[in-house]
Amino acid sequence: MSYSLIILIIGLLIVLGLIYSFYKCFKNDVPRNIIEARYAKSDSKFITLDNGSRIHTLVKGNPDGPVLVLLHGYLASLFTFDKVVPQLSEKYKVVCLDFPAFGLTGAVPNKDYSIESFIETVNQVVKKLSIDKFYLLGHSMGGRVAWRYTIKYPDLVKKLILVGSGVLLNDDDLERFERQNIPKAFRYIGANFPYKEKFVYFTPKFFAKQGAKVSVYDQNLVTDEMVEQYYDLPLLEGSRQALADMASMNEVKDLLLDDENLLKQIKVPTLMIHGDKDNIIGLWATKPFEENISNLKVKIFINMGHMPMIEDPIGVVSEINEFLEN
């Protein structure tokens, strides 16, 4: 066999291997009963809203204690708070929920995955749980939902906590955020191109692992279990299509930009918790909070990334308790 033929065969094998690896990254939806059996907790409850959405919730702690509602971030779920809920539930009645498109909630009938829809999801959940006034904590995207909820329903929120959350006010902020967080290929998810509907199912586990690694400063915190959960939950039937629908519903500007004047309407005592090594929402994006919320306490954790409640749960709970009790 000639040398050139050997090289040709090796080249073909490499190409076939790459094609096979690429093909294996396309994953079918996993039926809901399988994902729920794997991840639902013994006290998980599903609340059906007026619009037919079935929302995954978790209520723990002192039934007669003050209520603390926790809102997760983008591509996350209520499981984000697993390390802080046991401690918080000693003093508070803790309520967590999965937003539409995320976690065990997944796709919803009306296909509305806007921030306004998330605000109304929170409002309906607390109403159905017969909660009148409460403390509200939001992480990352959940922080945006939280502060906008506080503006819309100021009489319901007693105090506001923003964890790893920021504000984008203009095109320069948006460009900086996209450059830092969004690979160029992902920016075209809302565009039309051949076989686009098939690429909704392109889900390499590498994405989940990299997402977990960039979220925390201490890489030792990225466990196989954490990566597996990040990977599994979007495989829930309909969830990846819901995420694609969310991305294509509006222009990126409409999804991410806010009006600075809105922040001035926040009158409740507010705590901002942020990691100084946050690679997703840098400290620069928190400045509008400091400049526009008059009753604001800022706590910056050193050598910490985007997930303080995972990276230092004891420290975060201590800050929350001190803020809510004073």
For residue range 158-168, what is the model confidence (pLDDT) as tens digits?
999 999 999 88
- Tens of pLDDT, residue by residue over 200-212, are 676 778 889 999 9
Name the pTM for this structure: 0.89
- Tens of pLDDT, residue by residue over 247-290, are 876 555 566 778 889 999 999 999 999 999 999 999 998 999 99
Q: Sorting pLDDT into bands at 50, 70 and 90, what band is 189?
A: very low
Let me know: does 112 contact 136? Beta carbons within 8 Å. no
Give a yes or no: residue 151 inside a domain: yes
Query: At 177, which helix (H) or strand (E)?
Result: helix 171-181
Give a yes or no: residue 10 inside a domain: no
Give a yes or no: residue 22 inside a domain: no
Give a yes or no: residue 235 inside a domain: yes
Q: What percent of the chain has pLDDT over 90?
A: 71
Give a yes or no: residue 13 inside a domain: no
User: Which pair of tokens denotes residue 159?
Assistant: 């105090």
- The distance of Cα 62 from the centroid of its chain, to the nearest Å, equals 26
List of residues 6+ apart from 195 with CB closer than 8 A: none
Q: Sorting pLDDT into bands at 50, 70 and 90, what band is 18?
A: very low
> How far apart are the C-alpha atoms of 301 and 295, rounded to whole Å?
20
Give me the pLDDT at residue 277, please.
96
> How far apart are the C-alpha atoms of 238 and 101, rounded to whole Å?
8
**3-class SS shares of the chain: helix, strand, coil, % to 5:** 50, 15, 35
Give me the pLDDT at residue 312, please.
98
Give me the pLDDT at residue 176, please.
79
Q: Where are the extended beta strands (E) located within 157-295?
A: 157-163, 270-275
Give a yes or no: residue 185 inside a domain: yes
* Lowest mean pLDDT segment, chosen from 68-72, 90-94, 202-206: 202-206
> How far apart are the C-alpha atoms of 277 and 214, rounded to whole Å?
10
The DSSP code for 54 is E
Report the domain count for the chain: 1
Sign, CA torsion 303/309/315/321: positive
Give a yes or no: residue 57 inside a domain: yes
- Tens of pLDDT, residue by residue over 216-239, are 999 999 999 999 999 999 999 999
> CATH no. for residue 82?
3.40.50.1820
Give me the pLDDT at residue 32, please.
97
Give me the pLDDT at residue 13, please.
55
The 3 state secondary structure assigned to 248-276 is HHCCHHHHHECCHHHHCCCCCCEEEEEEC
> How far apart are the C-alpha atoms of 216 and 224, rounded to whole Å?
14
| CB-count burial class (<10 Å; 0-12, 13-18, 19+) for 37 | exposed
Give me the pLDDT at residue 169, please.
82
Give a yes or no: residue 8 inside a domain: no
Question: Which range marks the domain in which residue 87 is found?
Answer: 32-325
Q: Sorting pLDDT into bands at 50, 70 and 90, what band is 59?
A: very high
How high is the mean pLDDT of the chain? 88
